[in-house]
């Protein structure tokens, strides 16, 4: 900005000492002139002229450069920066604008962010809707009070049927309102069916959410088995002790009753529970380790015991991945092997340790091997352990010694073997190995000390050589605890320790004092003086713990007049029987955290962790997940019989709206998703579809529909026609068109009954396609840009009666402002060469909050160039209407012979052929026809061996022919024959997009 323009804005220069309030528009003062000037800047920013907006932005930048407060202008600036991009025709720019807007952490623009998210949630681009879902948690963290409005947006996005949005909206649901489980009910089956096609990140999020959902909505599939195990003697748990089996008689009776009830009422799995397990199983073959881990934890927490084993192979496969992945997988496998070790026993060798493994991986593999150890494989595992002890990794060797101790504790048959092996390690040159062996031997000897006095004697001799404090302390504790088994050696050990008392570590000194006290109580003749000597040394030690221990023990074992009553119980205190330690896995009871979560990895509740719910005692109502099929699709019993085979895969594959039994148990829809069964399924599917085609073609030939159509079918078609008209908010032609001959009668009836391509196909082949949803709407004028007025338009696919060469464009005006809108019309303006527009009558008054509909005709001259026209309200708004190439044509009726003949004349450069792989949800005839006729306003050719469609361009009546030839395993070939090559090329792209996503 130049200095002259800046001075003009100030109204002249001012001296340094003059106050600038009231003169400088950049001042942040409190006088009314400041507010007026800021209001002027706001008006400039809200104007429709880019030059005024640019000038306002320059002045604001100048204000900020001079250090003035311009914070009250921030929302207006953000609106201008973000709003224009949010309305950009490019979906990537719209999404980027929303991403930037939601990343601004300023509460003052929360209303603008909320409005932008709501608009983006209704955007025609799934990528923009996905970005809206990402923006929801950002806005929630900025202003939690917006939760209710955000939940409404989440509910809307959860109903989205595109796989691109599913993962993002579930993530937003988890962040904002995970307790609103009712939002998932209606979308549960759809999420299960879409799961295999969702991106990998979204799959992880959805699976984790569905795991917690299933734990609240379904019964425990292992309830009968667990009750029977608890009620009877059962098999003892892996780490169970005798004390765990001692229960009150009342509890046993209750469990026996529960087991009896379980026998009387066998468990039957909910079909929706089975649907979840079936649809997640193929994801065990995913290339993404996080997806495999998510499915594994789902099966571990939800599946019957007999089915959990399928995850073992997938998890073992992940052990070939990077060390970070191995670490997480082994953590979870270690937890699983405690309760369900049987499923990993066949893969025992996969957990053998390689020399190249990092230490943390080695330790976890040791943990798994120890958990898998049983009487059958213990000899193999111990041989492996002998090899590991020779490793140069001392931490790993210490962990191996501890693992040997655990195996000896859990498997009594090898206890002596393990003890002898550990005793041999006492002669190892490495002090750390010897020290760890001493600690483990000490724990094992506590189980049967009387049988192993020789080992205790051998360890007593090691006090001269072992210097590791923990090992020396363990040996002294053992000799003191079992001094009666070594009465001759124990006093000599005390003598040696008394000599070196002052030089020992604190932990060793404490055990020397304990040894002296125990020997004084059992063999006072030989050790009385030694004990007094040791206690005198401890009395003056620098460590106060040792001084206190010496004072305490002296009062207990050396009775005096001042001694209390405790001295009588000295032997019971020092020589009491101590329970043998139970060597347990550190992963025991860690499965109360959801596997695969950060909390499970840390074994501590992390921030944001959601607890895994307990199974319900009674099954909740399964009908909450039912999605009603509209009544207008059930026209008559005859129609229902014809459409039964087609509707089932249509609703279950595409929308997940079938009943619980259909969605869970129908074989075709789910088995098609499994890679290993696709080839087997395709043959039977193609045969059944061909049978249905033959039946449909024989029942819907032109002569039959013309001469012998039943009254019931007429009512059915009329009902569907009315429903589609109500969805598109358009009116059918009120006057019937006269027909002159039979050939004309066929074509005109197809066009006049309803111009929707779906209805065209219904007349020709009524049982192979269901009515489409509402016509696709496009935004013409945003309510922010239009100052409260918003305009949407759609191509109604009805003939524009004033001019047959024009495309009918239905426009919907909505007044979102608080004041009435008047004189709404489109002004004349110079158009592209050849284009013509038939304007709609002026809307004189549109009250606040009301909606009005108008229809205008546009002759696009068979071109997709946009028609740019100004909409006049209080002022002009320049808008642009750009048609998809599929809306520039109208359907025509051709027989199969006529289609082949016309196609033969449109070869060479007029023919475009593309090979494609159909989307997994688009592999039956019904869905293919629906997607093609949605992408382009074409009519279906009856009785064709392939899916064939025909139409003519609206302006020039150029013929357009489309053929979709399907092959096995989703392969297909698309052929478009068109007199206009440009239209044909563009049409191929649109139909390819419709069939592959």
- The length of the chain is 997
* CA atoms within 13 Å, Cβ hemisphere of 743: 3
At residue 628, the pLDDT reads 67
Q: For residue 229, is pLDDT > 70?
A: no
DSSP β-bridge partners for residue 951: 891, 960
> Please, where are the H alpha helices in 431-543?
431-445, 453-460, 469-481, 489-499, 506-522, 524-539
Higher pLDDT residue, 591 or 709? 591
In-domain check, residue 298: no
Q: Which pair of tokens denotes residue 55?
A: 């000038």
Q: For residue 233, is pLDDT > 50?
A: no
Confidence of residue 70 (pLDDT cuts 50, 70, 90): confident
Residues 894 and 876 placed together within one structural domain of the fold: no
In-domain check, residue 495: yes
Question: Is the pTM of the predicted complex or chain greater than 0.75?
Answer: no
Least confident among 656-660, 789-793, 851-855: 656-660
> Which of these, 895, 899, 892, 925, lies nearest to 696 by C-alpha position?
925
pLDDT tens-digit series, residues 94-144? 888 888 888 888 888 888 889 889 989 988 899 999 999 999 999 999 999
Residues 864 and 910 placed together within one structural domain of the fold: no
Q: For residue 17, is pLDDT > 50?
A: no
Higher pLDDT residue, 715 or 252? 252
pLDDT tens-digit series, residues 462-507? 777 777 888 888 888 888 888 877 788 888 888 888 888 888 888 8
Query: Is residue 315 within 8 Å of 337, Cβ to Cβ?
Result: no
Report the DSSP pairing between strands 821-826 and 789-799: unpaired
Listed residues 152, 179, 206: the one ending a domain: 179
Residues 835 and 894 placed together within one structural domain of the fold: no
Q: For residue 209, is pLDDT > 90?
A: yes
Percent of the chain scored above 90 by pLDDT?
17
Confidence of residue 663 (pLDDT cuts 50, 70, 90): very low
Confidence of residue 627 (pLDDT cuts 50, 70, 90): confident
Average pLDDT over residues 976-980: 88
Q: How far apart are CA 709 and CA 556, in angstroms?
A: 110
Q: What is the DSSP string of 630-662?
A: PGGG---HHHHHHHHHHHHHIIIIII--S-HHH
Residues 53 and 69 placed together within one structural domain of the fold: yes
At residue 632, the pLDDT reads 40
Average pLDDT over residues 980-990: 86
Average pLDDT over residues 537-549: 89
In-domain check, residue 202: no
Confidence of residue 636 (pLDDT cuts 50, 70, 90): very low
Average pLDDT over residues 650-663: 38
Provide the 3-class DSSP secondary structure of residue 912.
strand
At residue 279, the pLDDT reads 93
pLDDT tens-digit series, residues 328-364? 999 999 989 888 878 898 898 999 998 888 989 999 9
Average model confidence (pLDDT) for the chain?
Answer: 75
In-domain check, residue 625: no
Higher pLDDT residue, 865 or 741? 865
Confidence of residue 20 (pLDDT cuts 50, 70, 90): very low
Listed residues 538, 558, 578: the one ending a domain: 558
Q: How far apart are CA 259 and CA 255, in angstroms?
A: 6
Confidence of residue 688 (pLDDT cuts 50, 70, 90): very low
Name the most confidently modeled range: 280-289, 423-432, 606-615, 630-639.
280-289
Listed residues 144, 179, 214: the one ending a domain: 179
Query: Is residue 220 within 8 Å of 188, Cβ to Cβ?
Result: no
Query: Is residue 714 within 8 Å of 682, Cβ to Cβ?
Result: no
Residues 785 and 818 placed together within one structural domain of the fold: yes
**Residue found by looking up tokens 């923990």 in the block:** 470
In-domain check, residue 128: yes
DSSP β-bridge partners for residue 858: 807, 837
Q: Which residues contact 833 (CB under 8 A, 6 or more apart)?
A: 861
> Which of these, 614, 621, 660, lies nearest to 182 by C-alpha position?
621
Q: How far apart are CA 879 and CA 990, in angstroms?
A: 24
Burial of residue 695 (CB within 10 Å: 0-12, 13-18, 19+) is middle
First to last CA, the chain: 50
At residue 872, the pLDDT reads 66
The whole domain housing 810 covers 773-883
Q: How many CB atoms lie within 10 A of CB 374?
A: 15
pLDDT tens-digit series, residues 238-264? 344 444 444 455 555 556 655 555 455
Q: For residue 222, is pLDDT > 90?
A: no
In-domain check, residue 739: no
Residues 909 and 793 placed together within one structural domain of the fold: no
Q: For residue 774, is pLDDT > 60?
A: no
What is the domain count for the chain?
5
The torsion angle over the Cα atoms of residues 320, 321, 324 and 327, rounded to 10 degrees, is -30
Residues 344 and 432 placed together within one structural domain of the fold: yes
Average pLDDT over residues 584-595: 77
Residues 46 and 146 placed together within one structural domain of the fold: yes
Distance of CA 338 to the CA centre of its chain: 28
> Which of these, 657, 696, 763, lies nearest to 185 by C-alpha position?
657
Supply the CATH number for residue 819's domain: 2.60.40.1150
Residues 171 and 54 placed together within one structural domain of the fold: yes
At residue 829, the pLDDT reads 58
Q: How far apart are CA 541 and CA 728, in angstroms?
A: 94
Phi first, then psi: give them for residue 523, nearest 5 degrees. Answer: -145, 65
In-domain check, residue 436: yes
Q: How many CB atoms lie within 10 A of CB 385?
A: 22
Query: Is residue 235 within 8 Å of 245, Cβ to Cβ?
Result: no
Average pLDDT over residues 440-451: 75
Least confident among 301-305, 571-575, 975-979: 571-575
At residue 594, the pLDDT reads 83
Q: How far apart are CA 507 and CA 529, in angstroms?
A: 23
Phi first, then psi: give them for residue 706, nearest 5 degrees. Answer: -85, -40
Confidence of residue 944 (pLDDT cuts 50, 70, 90): low
Residues 444 and 458 placed together within one structural domain of the fold: no
Q: What is the DSSP string of 910-963?
A: GEEEEEEE--TT--SHHHHHHHHHHHS--EEPTT-SSEEEEEEETTT--EEEEE
Supply the CATH number for residue 54's domain: 1.25.10.10
At residue 828, the pLDDT reads 63
Provide the 3-class DSSP secondary structure of residue 197.
helix
Residues 52 and 125 placed together within one structural domain of the fold: yes
Q: How far apart are CA 825 and CA 199, in angstroms?
A: 45
At residue 561, the pLDDT reads 61
Q: Report the phi/psi class of residue 352: left, alpha or beta, with left for phi > 0 and alpha for psi in -120 to 50.
A: beta
Average pLDDT over residues 548-577: 76
Confidence of residue 640 (pLDDT cuts 50, 70, 90): very low
* CA atoms within 13 Å, Cβ hemisphere of 478: 33
In-domain check, residue 814: yes
Q: How far apart are CA 628 and CA 755, in angstroms?
A: 28
At residue 831, the pLDDT reads 67
At residue 874, the pLDDT reads 61
Supply the CATH number for residue 407's domain: 1.25.10
Residues 876 and 929 placed together within one structural domain of the fold: no
Q: Which pair of tokens denotes residue 416?
A: 């002596």
Q: How far apart are CA 12 and CA 235, in angstroms?
A: 96
At residue 668, the pLDDT reads 38
Q: For residue 591, is pLDDT > 80?
A: no
């Amino acid at each position: 900005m130049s200095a002259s323009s800046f001075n003009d804005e100030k109204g002249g220069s001012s001296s340094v000492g003059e106050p600038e309030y009231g003169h400088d528009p950049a001042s942040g003062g409190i006088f009314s002139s400041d507010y007026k000037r800021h209001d002027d800047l706001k008006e400039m920013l809200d104007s429709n002229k880019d030059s005024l907006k640019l000038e306002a932005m320059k002045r604001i930048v100048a204000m900020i450069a001079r250090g003035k407060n311009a914070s009250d202008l921030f929302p207006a600036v953000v609106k201008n920066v973000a709003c224009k991009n949010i309305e950009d025709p490019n979906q990537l720019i719209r999404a980027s604008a929303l991403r930037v807007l939601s990343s601004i952490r300023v509460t003052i623009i929360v209303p603008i962010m909320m409005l932008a998210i709501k608009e983006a949630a209704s955007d025609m681009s799934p990528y923009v809707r996905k970005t809206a879902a990402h923006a929801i948690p950002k806005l929630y963290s900025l202003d939690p009070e917006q939760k209710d409005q955000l939940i409404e947006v989440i509910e809307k996005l959860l109903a989205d049927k595109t796989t691109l949005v599913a993962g993002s909206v579930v993530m937003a649901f988890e962040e904002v309102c995970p307790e609103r489980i009712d939002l998932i009910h209606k979308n549960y089956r759809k999420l299960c069916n879409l799961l295999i096609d969702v991106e990998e990140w979204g799959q992880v999020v959805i699976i984790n959410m569905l795991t917690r959902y299933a734990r609240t909505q379904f019964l425990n599939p292992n309830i009968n088995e667990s009750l029977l195990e608890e009620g009877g003697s059962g098999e003892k748990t892996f780490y169970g002790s005798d004390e765990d089996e001692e229960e009150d008689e009342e509890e046993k009776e209750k469990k026996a009753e529960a087991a009896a009830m379980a026998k009387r009422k066998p468990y039957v799995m909910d079909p929706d529970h089975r649907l979840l397990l079936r649809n997640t199983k193929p994801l065990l073959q995913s290339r993404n380790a996080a997806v495999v881990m998510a499915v594994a934890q789902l099966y571990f927490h939800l599946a019957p015991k007999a089915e959990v084993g399928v995850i073992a192979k997938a998890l073992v496969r992940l052990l070939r991945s990077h060390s970070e992945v191995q670490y997480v997988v082994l953590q979870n496998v270690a937890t699983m092997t405690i309760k369900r070790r049987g499923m990993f026993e066949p893969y025992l060798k996969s957990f053998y340790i390689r020399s190249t493994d990092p230490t943390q991986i080695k330790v976890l593999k040791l943990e798994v091997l120890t958990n898998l150890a049983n009487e059958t494989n213990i000899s193999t595992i111990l041989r492996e352990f002998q090899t590991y002890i020779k490793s140069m990794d001392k931490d790993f060797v210490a962990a191996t010694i501890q693992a040997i101790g655990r195996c000896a504790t859990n498997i009594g048959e090898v206890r002596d073997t393990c003890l002898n092996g550990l005793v041999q390690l006492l002669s190892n040159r490495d002090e750390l190995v010897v020290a760890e062996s001493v600690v483990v031997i000490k724990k094992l000897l506590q189980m049967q000390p009387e049988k192993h006095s020789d080992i205790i004697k051998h360890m007593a001799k090691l006090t001269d050589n072992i210097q590791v404090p923990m090992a020396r302390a363990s040996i002294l504790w053992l000799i003191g605890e079992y001094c009666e088994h070594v009465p001759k050696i124990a006093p000599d050990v005390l003598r040696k320790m008394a000599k070196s008392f002052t030089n020992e570590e604190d932990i060793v000194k404490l055990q020397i004092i304990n040894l002296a006290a125990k020997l004084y109580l059992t063999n006072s003749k030989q050790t009385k003086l030694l004990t007094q000597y040791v206690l005198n040394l401890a009395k003056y030690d620098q460590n106060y713990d040792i001084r206190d221990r010496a004072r305490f023990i002296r009062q207990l074992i050396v009775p005096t007049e001042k001694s209390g009553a405790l001295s009588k119980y000295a032997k019971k205190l020092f020589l009491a029987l101590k329970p043998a330690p139970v060597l347990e896995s550190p992963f025991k009871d860690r499965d109360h955290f959801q596997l695969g979560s950060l909390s499970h990895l840390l074994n501590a509740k992390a921030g944001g962790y959601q607890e895994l719910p307990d199974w319900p005692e009674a099954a909740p109502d399964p009908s909450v997940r039912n999605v009603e099929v509209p009544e207008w699709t059930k026209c008559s019993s005859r129609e229902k019989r014809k459409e039964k085979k087609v509707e089932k895969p249509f609703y279950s594959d595409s929308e997940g709206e079938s009943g619980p039994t259909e969605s869970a148990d129908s074989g075709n829809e789910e088995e098609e998703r499994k890679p290993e069964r696709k080839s087997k399924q395709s043959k039977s599917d193609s045969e059944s579809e061909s049978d249905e085609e033959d039946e449909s073609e024989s029942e819907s030939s032109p002569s039959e529909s013309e001469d012998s159509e039943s009254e019931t079918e007429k009512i059915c078609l009329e009902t569907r026609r009315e429903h589609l008209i109500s969805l598109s908010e358009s009116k059918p032609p009120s006057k019937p068109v006269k027909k002159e001959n039979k050939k004309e009668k066929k074509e005109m009836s197809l066009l006049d009954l309803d111009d929707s391509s779906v209805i065209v196909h219904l007349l020709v082949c009524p049982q192979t396609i269901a009515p489409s949803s509402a016509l696709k709407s496009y935004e013409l004028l945003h309510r922010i840009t239009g100052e409260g007025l918003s305009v949407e338009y759609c191509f109604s696919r009805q003939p524009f009666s004033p001019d047959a060469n024009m495309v009918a464009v239905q426009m919907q005006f909505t007044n979102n402002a608080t004041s009435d809108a008047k004189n709404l019309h489109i002004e004349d303006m110079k158009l592209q060469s050849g284009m013509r527009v038939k304007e709609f009558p002026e809307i004189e008054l549109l009250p606040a909050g009301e909606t009005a509909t108008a229809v205008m005709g546009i002759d696009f001259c068979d071109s997709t160039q946009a028609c740019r026209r100004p909409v006049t309200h209080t002022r002009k708004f320049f808008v642009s209407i750009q048609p998809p190439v599929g809306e520039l044509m109208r359907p025509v009726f051709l027989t199969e012979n006529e289609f082949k003949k016309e196609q033969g004349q449109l070869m060479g450069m007029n023919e475009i052929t593309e090979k494609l792989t159909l989307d997994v949800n688009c592999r039956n005839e019904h869905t293919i026809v629906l997607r093609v006729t949605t992408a382009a306003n074409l009519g279906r050719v009856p009785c064709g061996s392939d899916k064939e469609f025909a139409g003519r361009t609206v302006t020039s009546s150029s013929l357009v022919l489309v053929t979709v030839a399907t092959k096995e395993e989703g392969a297909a070939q698309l052929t478009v024959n068109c007199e206009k090559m440009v239209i044909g090329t563009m049409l191929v792209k649109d139909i390819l997009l419709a069939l592959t996503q």
